[in-house]
Amino acid sequence: MRYLSLLLLGPWLIVLAWAYWATGKTFRVNWQRKAYDMVIVVVALVAALASALLAYDDIAIQSAGNFGRESGGIWKQVMPALYGYGAFAAVMVVGIAVRIFLRRRKQNVIAPNKV
């Protein structure tokens, strides 16, 4: 049960990782760009795994009341998925922002604006 949320979240994370990898490939891509993209995808997947496992350990299941267990048991699987997706998305957003910043900086160095 510990890894159920990751199994449910995994295919979507793979689709998002592929989308990140596939975007921006119309430009000239060198080995440094490929290495950067690979590092970002691996870091995002590791961050998603780590935060999901931490969230699973952090969520407490409610005890059974007079009428049985309350509906709070589902959160033991929902919160790790949310934490994992949040960590994955945060790393991807930072990776995209840095990639855009580096591309703009490189374009300014190659062809500076004439004033």
CA–CA separation, 67 vs 69, rounded Å? 7
- Tens digit of each residue's pLDDT (9 = 90 or more) over 37-67: 899 999 999 999 999 989 888 877 666 666 6
Determine contact, residues 80/6, Cβ cutoff 8 Å: yes
CA–CA separation, 12 vs 45, rounded Å? 11
DSSP secondary structure letter of residue 27: S
Average pLDDT over residues 64-86: 76
Which distant-in-sequence residues (6+ apart) come within 8 Å of 8 by Cβ?
77, 81
- Tens digit of each residue's pLDDT (9 = 90 or more) over 3-34: 787 788 889 889 999 888 887 666 667 888 88
